[in-house]
Amino acid sequence: MDSFAPAVVYGDMNFDDIEDVALVVEQNEADFELTPARALVIGYGTGYGNYELAAFNDNIVLRADEGGILGDPYNGIYFDDQGILTVSEYGGSNWRWSNNYRFAYLVDEWYFIGYNKITTYLHDESEYFETDFDMIHGKILNHYFDESGNLISDEDYTDSRELFPLDHFSRWYQVGDYRGYEDRYYDNNLGYELSFPKSWQDYYSIQERDYGIDVYFTGNSSPSWEIDEETFEANGLYLFSVGTENTMKEAGDSIDDVRWLGTAHGNTYYYFTSTDCSTCILSMAVELDIDEDKRELMISDYNRLVLMMADLDLLLYSFISDDEVHDYELDYEFDPLY
């Protein structure tokens, strides 16, 4: 988001009285139509002006084009006097979001110890949702406004307190009131599996194609249903596809937001969307000349869509193939971010 956001921080990170370094680096060259990947790196000082690699993770920091209309979501890394390293990001459009992931050196290794997540709506201050998860103590703190406009703070505890080593942590790991997987889709012919989050339940449909799948939003309002030109079935509003590189080349300039998913049966699969935003009609409910009942259904569908898209990354990370484990090991070079 901000080219002046710190990408390098120094401090005694492993409590040996020698200065260490943490930095965010960026891939030199990107894959097909993708922006460069980024990684968090921690180096321990040797006492001679050099550093040795202590931790590396390329599944924490978002890419430059993953912040929505606000642009680059990167918002800096910070190291405090409590020994906590925080990776910060901020993005969105009408719905704004921020994530702060916390890591700490415990005994002999770096661990993910918690996060803070905030979602707000630009045009309504009461649409505010904040979750803070302290994994060490298993404490979950939620802040939100009720229907009367009162700020509510809920405190809860969980027995699920497994600490993830930084090297193996995925930023898609979240704890929240609607997080988690509900439905599992398996394509027997193409050899891959996707798990759909709970927030997607009853609000999506899948159309299988020769090259992969198309996924649609299926709400309760009449505009949320469209007739498929090939099958003449009412699939809903188009959301995204999973297909190969050849599929994207055939689509030409009509594709958008390409992301690598993985390999199955010798084919590499990507997530991609269309430049034509079919779901945008739901955000126009207030402007349309329709009766109030239809308007309320469209607004309800739009709010559900926002929740679903907040869990999109959780869905994409669930990609698993018959012949490959999702390990995210990278074989390319990185440069300092700024």
Identify the sign of the CA torsion 309, 311, 316, 321.
negative
Residue 285: pLDDT above 80? no
Q: Check residue 116 and give its pLDDT.
A: 92
Tokens of 151: 């700020």
Tokens of 140: 């979950």
Tokens of 85: 């390293």
Give the alpha-carbon dihedral of 104, 157, 99, 300, to 10 degrees.
170
Residue 32: pLDDT above 70? no
pLDDT band at 74 (very low <50, low <70, confident <90, very high): very high
Choice among 173-177, 255-259, 290-294 with the minimum mean pLDDT: 173-177
Among 8-17, 287-296, 303-312, the range of highest mean pLDDT? 8-17
Q: Check residue 4 and give its pLDDT.
A: 53
Express each pLDDT in 171-211 by its tens digit. Answer: 655 444 334 456 788 887 888 888 888 788 889 999 888 88
Q: Using alpha carbons, select from 50, 74, 71 the residue that is nearest to residue 62.
A: 74
Q: Using alpha carbons, select from 80, 78, 75 the residue that is nearest to residue 61.
A: 75
Instruction: Tell me how far apart the terminal alpha carbons of the chain are, to the nearest angstrom.
Output: 12
Q: Check residue 159 and give its pLDDT.
A: 60
Q: Check residue 329 and give its pLDDT.
A: 39
pLDDT band at 33 (very low <50, low <70, confident <90, very high): low
Identify the sign of the CA torsion 337, 113, 109, 180.
negative
Q: Check residue 179 and give its pLDDT.
A: 44
Q: How far is CA 175 from CA 30, 58, 181, 310, 332, in A?
A: 31, 21, 12, 13, 32
Express each pLDDT in 321-331 by its tens digit. Answer: 765 433 333 34
pLDDT band at 240 (very low <50, low <70, confident <90, very high): very high
Please report which helix (H) or strand (E) contains residue 114, including its range.
strand 109-121
Residue 313: pLDDT above 80? no
pLDDT band at 213 (very low <50, low <70, confident <90, very high): very high
What are all long-range contacts of 90-94, with beta carbons under 8 Å and residues at least 24 apart? Answer: 90/1, 91/1, 91/62, 91/66, 91/67, 92/67, 92/68, 93/68, 93/69, 93/122, 94/121, 94/122, 94/123, 94/283
Q: Check residue 171 and give its pLDDT.
A: 64
Among 14-23, 105-114, 182-191, the range of highest mean pLDDT? 14-23
Q: What is the spatial distance between Cα 73 and Cα 235, in angstroms, rounded to a whole number?
A: 33
Q: Check residue 229 and give its pLDDT.
A: 56
Degrees (nearest 5) of the Cα angle 44, 29, 167? 35
Q: What is the spatial distance between Cα 160 and Cα 179, in angstroms, rounded to a whole number?
A: 14
